[in-house]
């Protein structure tokens, strides 16, 4: 006499092994498709986009901006500063993105003044170096301040 629960065990083991093998095959096919076929499809699509006259410029610039912010150790923002904006007497938080030396020798900073609470939009200001006030905040503190609507301010 064989217990019915024990008699079904080999069937359960075979089914579990089959499901396990199926999952491994699906995973391997997904990895291959993502890394080999997927890259080719993306390159093909990018090639089509780069052939369109107006879209090519926008796509290229967008790709460079994303790469600047994604890169390891990226220094897209150099420092957190205050600049007079939107009118004299008012100060806005901004991020220095670069410096320009003009022909007359004066140094100007390119400052990105983000809008709150969406820091991906904002205003690009060209500000004389002497009009830029350094805050001493870290980049992380500045971003937290913008995204929290000023609630999280550094001490």
Mean pLDDT, to the nearest integer, of 54-79?
71
| For residues 99-124, average pLDDT | 89
Across the range 17-42, mean pLDDT stands at 84
What is the predicted pLDDT for the residue at 103?
93
pLDDT of residue 133: 95
pTM over 0.85: no
pLDDT at 120 over 80: no
**Residue 143's closest CA among 72, 66, 79?**
79
Q: Report the percent of the chain where pLDDT is more than 90.
A: 34
Cα(56)–Cα(63) distance, integer angstroms: 10
């Amino acid at each position: 006499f064989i217990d019915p629960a024990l008699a079904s065990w080999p069937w359960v083991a075979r089914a579990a092994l089959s499901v396990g093998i199926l999952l491994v095959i699906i995973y391997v096919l997904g990895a291959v498709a993502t890394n080999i076929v997927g890259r080719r499809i993306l390159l093909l699509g990018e090639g089509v986009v780069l052939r369109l006259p107006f879209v090519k410029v926008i796509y290229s610039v967008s790709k460079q901006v994303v790469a600047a912010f994604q890169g390891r150790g990226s220094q897209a923002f150099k420092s957190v500063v205050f600049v007079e904006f939107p009118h004299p007497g008012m100060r806005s938080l901004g991020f220095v993105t670069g410096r320009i030396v003009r022909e007359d020798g004066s140094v100007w900073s390119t400052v990105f003044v983000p809008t709150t609470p969406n820091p991906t939009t904002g205003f690009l200001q060209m500000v004389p170096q002497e009009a830029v006030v350094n805050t001493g905040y870290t980049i992380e503190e500045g971003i937290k301040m913008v995204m929290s609507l000023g609630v999280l301010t550094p001490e």
